[in-house]
Structure 1
Amino acid sequence: MEKMKLKLLYADLQSDIRVIEKELETALDSSSHYLKDASLHLLKAGGKRIRPVFVLLGAKFGQYNIDDMKNVAVPLELIHMASLVHDDVIDDAELRRGRPTVKSQWNNRVAMYAGDFIFARALEYMTNIQNEKAHQILSKTMVEIVQGEIIQIEDKMHLNQSIRDYFRRIKRKTALLISSSCQLGAVAAGADDSVAHHLKKFGYYVGMSFQIIDDVLDLTATDKQLGKPAGSDLLQGNITLPVLLAKNDSAIRPYIEKALSGDMKEDERQVFLKKMRSSNAINEAYHISNLYLQKALKEIEELPANSVKKSLKDIALYMGKRKF
């Protein structure tokens, strides 16, 4: 239902999104049935396609051409997909979007090579982009994302990390790719530099808000809504903002430590979730997310008059207010 609501916000782009979906299937074709099946497994699991949508909306501020824009949107979505496959190996995750992960369906080795294959396909598609600045932005984005994966490994299980450490991690994990999507659409379409700059900042703020909400929902949504056990982030050793905000609460801290030790039983998970959902940490996290969202909305105001400004605002509000 939530995904359908989002699609309604960019209904006029649906035909172009279908072009990108078809191109993604073509990109993931391989003579190796392992690589092909594993890559398509993730693609068929669905996704909001937020990044391609932002590419297309950003391009509306310049010379819009779907044949050119697909060469930007496809590699960005492939980079996102590759990072998900690798993340599931790092987190030892069994489910994503309610379906077995690539590492679960096959094994870690196939998952890592599938992720590498998807990254490589992204590089291949980038060669179709006839814009040096776009190449520079894309390559820098890829470097930052890989560094972010390492940072995520370094921060796992570390309860003494700061909120600044968390922000640094989610910037590379989520915000950077959304920011680059918004910026690259404008750059590749030849929009003014000031437009690309404001879209870049808009995407960064939206991405930060989006990831914070995602981390809150991991604790407040149901197992069914999430397609995986609620609280999975903590059980996998990932310390999110709500947990950081609640870690000094004497009624919650023992459950956090038990989860990180790998000794949490099902009844304890339920108690932990109940305590977290009634704690101030959830409201504080929502407040911080909303601060980022308001900054994103201010960036939209700086953009020149264009009918897509409403779409940018509506999607930003959806991302920052969604329930699961």
Structure 2
Amino acid sequence: MTALSQIYEKSNIGSDLLKPLQTLVSSDLERVNAIILDRLKSPIDLIPTLARHLIAAGGKRMRPMLTLACSALVEHNSDRPIRLAAAIEFIHAATLLHDDVVDESELRRGVPTANSVWGNQASILVGDFLFSRAFELMVEDGSLDVLRILSSASSKIAEGEVMQLVSSKDVTTSQNTYLEIATYKTATLFEAACQVGAVLDGPNLENERALASFGRNLGLAFQLVDDVLDYQASSEMIGKNVGDDFKEGKITLPVILAYKKANEDEKKFWQRTLGTKQQNAKDFGQALAYLNKHRALDETLTHAQTYIHYAQESLIKFKPSPYLSALFDLCEFCLKRAF
């Protein structure tokens, strides 16, 4: 059985693996959502309207849940994780608004993107507003450690976006370069969400390093699974058009792995379809055939499994608890998730 078939076997298991974490943080997550709705208020009607359009589209609130769970894992007991989880979700929502503009995306979580409804300018400006709300919450918390972690994460995310833009349509992008982009663009906020939970009771370098490593490796695994789902899932499963990465000329790990093994005709195909974005209706099917020929999707999932192993190893130092078990389940959910 291939790695890919193992992912989709008994796909309902994926959702079940997320439930323990959702149950543990459900009451706190309601408070996070209340803060988000309160901080969306503005006398400029377009701001809450556009932002709520994105938030109402759903999402698992994965990053806020990580902050809540990791703070509980180190037995922190205050309201600070609630407000910081809201700040992290604001950062995430801001990056989504900006991403959709850069990628010219039309769907997110199965509904029209904000930029397709209100235009690019409004989406960018409201994204800036959400970033500002995040930093207001950080300042109100008053911790320099929190500011250090989240401001650094915000800078790295922006750098990752620029790195992706530079490498867009470059079919010769190396695996190492791609993983660096994925680390900056995606894994950084997972890392920060977990790391923040470790510093709320004061500096604890051992806990901080362990939870940062957990979040970073989990985030990388999530991104690699997303890379595969863009070619293999249905639109209903991923909440966007299947093949958007291909259509947008994105160079993801499956493409990099397939290009590395490609013959000259295949390389010309990738250069035409992704390098110059000269695509026709049959090209996505041909791309999928080449990816399967070189087992690039399965190999990508093998890399994801490796990062999940590293993430789970980072948790070993913590004493057993329901939160620890839920985070281990979350790792399995990453590989078996069904949208």
- Shorter-chain TM-score category? over 0.9
* 1:257 corresponds to: 271
2:61 pairs, out of 35, 49, 67, with: 49
2:20 pairs, out of 9, 17, 24, with: 9
Asked if the contact 1:38–1:114 (Cα under 8 Å) also holds between the matched residues in 2, the reply is yes
The within-5 A match list for 1:294-309 is 294-309=309-324
Deviation at 1:302, TM superposition (A): 2.1
* 2:139 corresponds to: 127
Query: Which of 229-238 and 183-192 deviates more?
Result: 183-192
Asked if the contact 1:179–1:201 (Cα under 8 Å) also holds between the matched residues in 2, the reply is yes
Deviation at 1:167, TM superposition (A): 0.6
Deviation at 1:66, TM superposition (A): 5.4
* 2:308 corresponds to: 293
1:122-162 per-residue CA deviation (whole Å, 9 max, x = no partner) reads 11111221322111111111111111111111111111111
1:225-264 per-residue CA deviation (whole Å, 9 max, x = no partner) reads 2233322112112100000001142364444334323332
Asked if the contact 1:30–1:36 (Cα under 8 Å) also holds between the matched residues in 2, the reply is yes
The within-5 A match list for 1:197-208 is 197-208=209-220
* 2:194 corresponds to: 182
What fraction of aligned residue pairs are identical, expressed as a percent?
A: 31
Deviation at 1:3, TM superposition (A): 8.3
* 2:8 corresponds to: none
| TM-score normalized with structure 2 length | 0.89
Q: Where does structure 1 lack aligned partners over 5 or more consecutive residues?
A: none
| Greater relative contact order, per chain length (Cα 8 Å cut-off, separation 6+) | 2
Asked if the contact 1:85–1:115 (Cα under 8 Å) also holds between the matched residues in 2, the reply is yes
SS at match of 2:315: helix
1:162-192 per-residue CA deviation (whole Å, 9 max, x = no partner) reads 1111011000111111011111012124473
Residues 1:281 and 2:296 are matched in the alignment: yes
Query: Which of 98-107 and 128-137 deviates more?
Result: 128-137
Give the Cα separation in 1 of the matches to 2:199 and 2:76: 11
Asked if the contact 1:86–1:112 (Cα under 8 Å) also holds between the matched residues in 2, the reply is yes
Asked if the contact 2:76–2:200 (Cα under 8 Å) also holds between the matched residues in 1, the reply is no
* 1:312 corresponds to: 327
Give the Cα separation in 1 of the matches to 2:266 and 2:138: 47
| TM-score normalized with structure 1 length | 0.93
Residues 1:234 and 2:249 are matched in the alignment: no
**Equivalent residues, number:** 324
Aligned-residue CA RMSD (Å): 2.0
Asked if the contact 1:157–1:238 (Cα under 8 Å) also holds between the matched residues in 2, the reply is yes
Letter in 1 for 2:270: I
